[in-house]
């Protein structure tokens, strides 16, 4: 028997099997702002789960203990989809997320969780790096309520050296997800000297606007040294602010700064009157000035799923 690169699929006499179906290695209740999803049911709690394995090998992975492990190397809990949904409902939760490692490698598991959830009023979302072909991406998105995709760089060289992956398939998967009509948000982790140059950030903002539109939220997240990338410092706050300003100057309406508690970029602003619509502090909602999905001050509609 031979395993694929992700470590969770194996060839058994010519048949390909997943070895992580119904085998969660972690479950936890998180605020949805932690994912981060800022325009999808703000203030909600979400039942989060993952299996071992990943189809990338990012040197800065925050969850490397599970993403870079084989299933046999982590403690697992047998948790079939129907039981997953039942546990969420028992906790009073109506959202489930495939997250932490990479949902692409437990695709069948997540898909069935989503289908079971629909039967019982529970919506499933995915937190993914988007390294997947367009057709299976669209098939999965049709079962989900929202998806957050980590776009790690706008340079092929970065993906090859830092992630052992390729950029082009990720861009294609992002466009494919958007075409299904699912609620989509992007995260871009700013790593000092590696993907933070003005030309790259400008390319990113222009690509988002041209291919997804100006209203898809873009989150710039602060890097902290971890795993195999400990030789760089945390991202300077001024770099994150500069990246946000550059992106908004290209016409993006909702650009955020993450992992910097108290930064003004944590909050949502009306693109028309510039007033604060949703004031956030870390993962807590301090104000919500949306009324029926519109700015209460000027009536501007704000894209998202608010109720």
- Beta pairing, strands 294-295 & 290-291: antiparallel
Structural domains in the chain (count): 1
- Beta pairing, strands 255-258 & 218-222: parallel
Dihedral, 57, 16, 96, 258 alpha carbons, nearest 10? 10
Tell whether the model's pLDDT for residue 179 goes beyond 80. Answer: yes
The pLDDT of residue 258 is 97
Dihedral sign (CA 35, 41, 47, 49): negative
Where would I find the beta strands (DSSP E) of the chain? Answer: 2-3, 9-12, 15-18, 23-24, 26-31, 45-50, 77-78, 95-98, 123-128, 146-150, 183-190, 218-222, 255-258, 268-269, 276-281, 284-288, 290-291, 294-295
Q: Which helix (DSSP H) or strand (DSSP E) does residue 253 occupy?
A: none
The pLDDT of residue 127 is 98
Q: What is the mean pLDDT of residues 269-288?
A: 97
Residue of 165, 174, 261 lying closest to 222 (CA atoms): 261
Residue of 151, 184, 130, 141 lying closest to 305 (CA atoms): 184
With cut-offs at 50, 70 and 90, classify the pLDDT of residue 281. Answer: very high
Ramachandran region of residue 174, left (φ > 0), alpha (ψ -120 to 50) or beta?
A: alpha
The pLDDT of residue 1 is 63
Tell whether the model's pLDDT for residue 183 goes beyond 80. Answer: yes
Residue 275 lies in a domain: no
State the chain's maximal CA–CA distance in angstroms: 64
Beta carbons of 218 and 255 less than 8 angstroms apart: yes
Residue 304 lies in a domain: no
Q: CA–CA separation, 158 vs 294, rounded Å?
A: 39
Tell whether the model's pLDDT for residue 165 goes beyond 70. Answer: yes
With cut-offs at 50, 70 and 90, classify the pLDDT of residue 14. Answer: confident
Residue 3 lies in a domain: no
- 0.75 exceeded by pTM: yes
Taken as a whole, the chain contains a residue count of 307
Residue 122 lies in a domain: yes
Tell whether the model's pLDDT for residue 167 goes beyond 80. Answer: yes
> What stretches of 197-291 show up as alpha helix (H) in DSSP?
198-211, 237-249
Q: CA–CA separation, 57 vs 35, rounded Å?
A: 20
Q: What is the mean pLDDT of residues 125-152?
A: 98
**Per-residue model confidence as pLDDT tens digits over 222-267:** 999 999 999 999 999 999 999 999 999 999 999 999 999 999 999 9
Which CATH number does the domain housing residue 101 bear? 3.20.20.70
Tell whether the model's pLDDT for residue 96 goes beyond 80. Answer: yes
8-state DSSP, 145: S
Residue 84 lies in a domain: yes
Q: What percent of the chain has pLDDT over 90?
A: 94
Q: What is the mean pLDDT of residues 33-51?
A: 98
Average pLDDT, the chain: 97
Q: Which domain, by its residues, includes 72? A: 19-267
Ramachandran region of residue 23, left (φ > 0), alpha (ψ -120 to 50) or beta?
A: beta
Residue 4 lies in a domain: no
Q: Which residue has the higher pLDDT, 10 or 98?
A: 98
């Amino acid at each position: 028997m031979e395993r694929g690169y992700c470590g969770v699929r194996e060839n058994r006499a010519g048949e390909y099997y997943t070895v992580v179906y119904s085998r969660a290695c972690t479950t936890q209740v998180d605020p949805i702002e932690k994912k981060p999803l800022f325009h999808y049911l703000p203030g909600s709690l979400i039942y989060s789960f993952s299996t071992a394995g990943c189809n990338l090998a990012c040197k800065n992975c925050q969850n490397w203990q599970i993403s870079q492990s084989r299933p046999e190397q982590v403690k697992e809990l047998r948790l079939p989809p129907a039981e997953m949904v039942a546990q969420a409902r028992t906790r009073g939760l109506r959202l489930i997320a495939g997250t932490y490692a990479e949902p692409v490698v437990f695709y069948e598991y997540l898909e069935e969780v989503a289908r079971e959830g629909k039967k019982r009023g529970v919506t499933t979302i995915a937190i993914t790096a988007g390294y997947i072909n367009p057709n299976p991406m669209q098939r999965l998105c049709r079962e989900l309520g929202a998806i957050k995709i980590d776009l790690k760089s706008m340079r092929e060289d970065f993906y090859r050296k830092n992630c052992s992956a390729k950029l082009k398939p990720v861009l294609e998967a992002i466009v494919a997800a958007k075409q299904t009509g699912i609620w989509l948000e992007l995260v871009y982790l700013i790593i000092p000297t590696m993907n933070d140059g003005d030309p790259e950030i400008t390319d990113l903002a222009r690509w988002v606007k041209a291919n997804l539109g100006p209203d898809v939220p873009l989150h710039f997240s602060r890097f902290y040294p971890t795993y195999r990338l400990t030789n760089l410092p945390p991202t300077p706050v001024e770099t994150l602010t500069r990246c946000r300003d550059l992106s908004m100057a290209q016409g993006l309406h909702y650009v955020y700064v993450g992992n910097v508690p108290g930064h003004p970029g944590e909050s949502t602003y009306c693109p028309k009157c510039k007033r604060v619509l949703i004031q956030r502090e870390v993962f807590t909602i301090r104000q919500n000035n949306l009324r029926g999905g519109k700015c209460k001050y000027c009536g501007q509609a704000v894209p998202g799923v608010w109720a």
